[in-house]
Amino acid sequence: MKDGLFVQQLQDRIARTYTFFLGRVVDIFLNGSPVPGEPFEIGANYTSEKFKSGEVTCNVTAGIAATAGETFRDRNAGWFVFCNGRAVFFGDKTSLTGWGVTLPIFQPKHRPFLGTVFFVSANPEALPWTTTKASVNEDSTVWQEAKRRMTTVGRVVITFLDRRYTDDGTEVASADVQSASGAKVSVLKAAASEQRAFKPPTKPAPKEMRIQYSAKIADIKKIATYLRKPNMGGSEVGRYTFNYFLKNEVGEDE
């Protein structure tokens, strides 16, 4: 095959769909070269739940992607859904996995988010995938139960990430997100773990607060005149009187 774009797209599709099989169970060659899987890992701070529906066992995990630096790749963000190890969704950020429906619309601030769903069954017909094995059967009861749990499991992580940008500005720095992720863990190990919960870092107590009160303009002007600064505004007078009281009545810490 000589069409470079087609070859690259095919390689990406193979690498994602069979990421857990390539190099372990099977080798696939494209134009004579082996196709490597596309690995991705999660931080050790994650939420994990399991449930069973009929012949299908399911694990839902959500946390923060493990990364070598402070940059989180959009390619490795979103929901990753597998049926017996084969990927049906890889980094999905659409309404099919709840984004914009039961979860917020996916935004750049959510790039650290990584969620996995593993369906396992000895009976492939019981799995919630389509006949093409390239998507999910949205009418499947096990898929509907999984989506409900994806919302519950994912919300805590997303709420933490939403704190990065608030009306008061950025509250969570990229380095803090990486720290909250924890040590790098295989997503397979995370899926096999016991039920656990993501623990958002404790938000530091604010060191400052705004003081606001009303005063008569005449009184403010009296103070400004007394200080021989007739052009002082209300906020300046307030700051001066606060500092004066703190220093002379309370006593400032050294």
CA distance 148 to 51: 12
Do 50 and 58 meet the contact criterion of CB atoms below 8 Å apart? yes
Is residue 37 a contact partner of residue 21, using CB atoms and an 8 Å limit?
Answer: yes
The answer as to CATH 3.30.230 being correct for domain 41-192 is yes
Which residues in the chain land under pLDDT 70? Answer: 1-3, 68-70, 166-173, 203-204, 252-254
pLDDT value of residue 4: 76
pLDDT value of position 66? 87
Instruction: Tell me the DSSP string of the chain.
Output: ---HHHHHHHHHHHHHHTTTTBTTTB--EETTEEPPP---EEEEEEEEEEEEETTEEEEEEEEEE--SSS---GGG-EEEEEETTEEEEEEE-SGGGTBTTTBPPP-GGGTTEEEEEEEE-S-GGGSSB-TTSSSB-TT-HHHHHHHHHHHHHHHHHHHHHHTTSBTTB--S-HHHHHHHH-SEEEHHHHHHSPPB---PPPPPPPS---------HHHHHHHHHHTT-TT--HHHHHHHHHHHHIIIII----
pLDDT, residue 252, reads: 64
Domain coordinates in residue numbering, the chain: 41-192, 217-250
pLDDT on residue 69: 63
What is the tens place of the pLDDT at every residue in 235-244?
998 888 888 8
Q: What is the pTM of this model?
A: 0.76
pLDDT for the residue 254: 47
Residue pair 145/6 in contact (Cβ under 8 Å)? The answer is: no
What does the alpha-carbon distance between residue 97 and residue 160 come to, in Å, rounded to a whole number?
19
Q: What is the pLDDT of residue 244?
A: 86
Specify whether the CB–CB gap between 113 and 161 falls below 8 A. yes
